[in-house]
Structure 1
């Protein structure tokens, strides 16, 4: 019995352990070699580039295959409606938690940062921003990871049209389903290279930017990192419990660590998307739900970004000597944090859009931008981890709403 348990544990956690070990080893090499560790960067870039190359066709085929296979359009409406409701509620919870924390531990207390000159920030035009967020002006622009939301909208529309054509378009629907399986198989093969790629990426990252992780921003990090860890284990425990009781908690935490580790290492929701889709499949989330919720979540569901947006806002208030207090201030901060989470891209550095939004809407001077951008850079790894792993548990909660509270028990019984 003990041998079986050991084997089972190793089978489930072998890959996360190998992945984490390679990242720790890479970090140690980076600390020892310093800037010379940048020689390893090409090995890390190869992994990231492969994942980024796969992700656009993967998003297109998974969403279109899920939508095109649906006979019941009412189910599609329920999935999208439930998904948006969960995205907003979890973002709201994350924002309120961080507002409470920054009032107890002000992140800018005792911080002394000299203002740096910055390039002029162009005023934010909300109408233009919305148009650019959901559409592109030419088809080639659609086939780019920089335009994920327009791609997702196009994929839903394409899948809907295939579904509406009915039997006539069944060969197209079948082809999309096969393509979806092909791309997921590609991901599983690419992940064999992940320990080398991510280890090399971290060696270069720590070697080059390690010293920047210290200094005046330490207090903000001391506030943020523990909150992310607590949120991951406590909030996601409660969310997965809501999704399917203790079975939901067990199956979630059994499968989520490869996703969490990959997201911390790549600092990209989009790069982690293929791994996340595989994890949701192992958890037992139905294909139509996981193929809709997780790709959309990679762009529009950002609990970690909501946490970091509140941290950034309160940090800036502290720097400029403005009290971060009052219902009006909190409501505005929550709206901005959810907005900045939704408009953020899934690529590394995409948070700059959200940071620009904060600087412009609050009317901070242009000199504030480098400060808030540095915080964004430092909080990016845990924020991305919360964003990505939150998509998985959101897909589980949507399944509970659509399929009923015993969805996982039925799935486990069917498997046995």
Structure 2
């Protein structure tokens, strides 16, 4: 089991959860529900610290870059993330209603928690602060450290980020399959799982198609601005794309992506600055996946949402996920605070969101890093026009 990746483990957990929910009596399923309750409370406790850990160091890092180059790269990256999120919103709201019937969701699952089993006992782990407080503290510290170039606080923020990365990779991610198993066992016992699974695979295909669409748009723009061959840029990107699928980490894909940028004719100074930076701040694939999955979960549960609500959600994603894509599953963990505060998801909905996201995480990461090379070509053209490739 240790050699299996996270996605196979989650698939096994979903299958086992369905089997357990069908064969065990209520008392047996409640054992898993009790674990879910404890894990969810721990997750709620950890979310503010995850936000602070990622956002403070991420913003502080942005302040130590190369002035104008940093500003332009950050603006393009954030703009690309917003465009990707709004593309996902348009696609999801146009296509999802064709197979997620909100009327049925409202009648069958207006309050799905009423059908779910309760844990044997509850261990309360109250968070030390709420999500908005954590976000304000993170912005204040990150911008402050960047402004005063504070080495002590910067080093502390980086070390705290490493602690939260270890918490995610050593505690939350390993326990996540058991959490998903319990959620699906409970939903199966409550008779809700068939409706959920009938939607999962369709959402996956639509998200994947949206990823490819934004990659094509990014490379068309880059090839036009940089006067480079679009087909050749796409071919050059294939090794980076496949590496990201295998590693589920933008950071781990940086060496391969640097080689791709070199093949695209991007000058050494630009590629060595832009590619590592964009691996941290450019999140178009993650924005597509999170936006699409959030809308799918809300439609499944008959939750109303507005454009202004989703606008705020997408805008905050580009900030709260800074530095998170370097950790497999990190983007959705960093976004949980925004999901709770803006979309008001409960524990069961958050678990569904995590399951939906992580099964597509590697493709979102591959989309992120592909866009990084499009941005590198654009930045190289702005600062030093390159020869055609």
CA distance 1:141–1:347, shift in 2 (3 Å) = same
Q: TM-score, normalised by structure 2?
A: 0.61
Go from structure 1 to structure 2 and tell me whether the alpha carbon gap of 1:295 and 1:394 turns closer, same or farther (over 3 Å shift): same
Deviation at 1:216, TM superposition (A): 4.5
The 3 A distance-change label for structure 1 pair 312 and 343 is farther
Give the match for residue 321 of structure 1.
Answer: 302
Q: CA deviation at 1:312?
A: 2.8
CA contact (8 A) 1:256 1:389 kept: yes
Alignment of 1:153-302 (within 5 A): 216-232=199-215, 234-245=216-227, 247-302=228-283
What is the aligned partner in structure 1 of residue 135 from structure 2? 126
- The number of residues matched between the two structures is 279
SS at match of 1:94: helix
> Which of 79, 87, 106 in structure 2 is aligned with 1:89?
79
Measured at CA, do residues 141 and 383 of structure 1 come closer, stay the same or move farther in structure 2, by a change above 3 Å?
A: same
Separation (CA, whole Å) in 2 of partners of 1:399 and 1:262: 24
Cα distance in structure 2, aligned partners of 1:366 and 1:143:
25
The aligned residue for residue 346 of structure 1 is: 326
Is the Cα–Cα contact under 8 Å of residues 98 and 307 in structure 1 kept in the other structure? yes
Cα deviations by residue, 1:320-359 (Å, 9 ceiling, x for unpaired): 4233344x23421331332344353411010211133212
Q: Distance in 2 between matches of 1:278 and 1:146?
A: 30
TM, length-normalised to structure 1: 0.57
Aligned counterpart for 1:109 among listed residues 91, 100, 107 = 100
1:141 aligns with 2:150: no
My pick for the range that moved more, 247-256 or 125-134, is 125-134
Q: Which of 42, 57, 70 is the aligned partner of 1:80?
A: 70
Structure 1 consecutive aligned stretches of length 4 or more whose deviation exceeds 6 Å: 116-121
State the shift of 1:143 in Å: 10
Residue 361 of structure 2 aligns to a residue whose secondary structure is helix
Return closer, same or farther for 1:314/1:336 CA change in 2, 3 Å cut-off: farther
Q: Is the 8 A contact 1:121 1:366 kept in 2?
A: no
Following superposition, the deviation at residue 269 of structure 1 comes to 0.7
Quote the Cα distance in structure 1 between the aligned partners of 2:312 and 2:356.
20
SS, match of residue 324 in structure 1: coil
* 1:376 and 2:357 correspond: yes
Cα deviation, residue 120, structure 1: 6.5
* Distance apart, 1:284 and its partner CA: 1.7
- Unaligned runs of 5+ residues in structure 1 are 1-25, 36-62, 68-72, 148-204
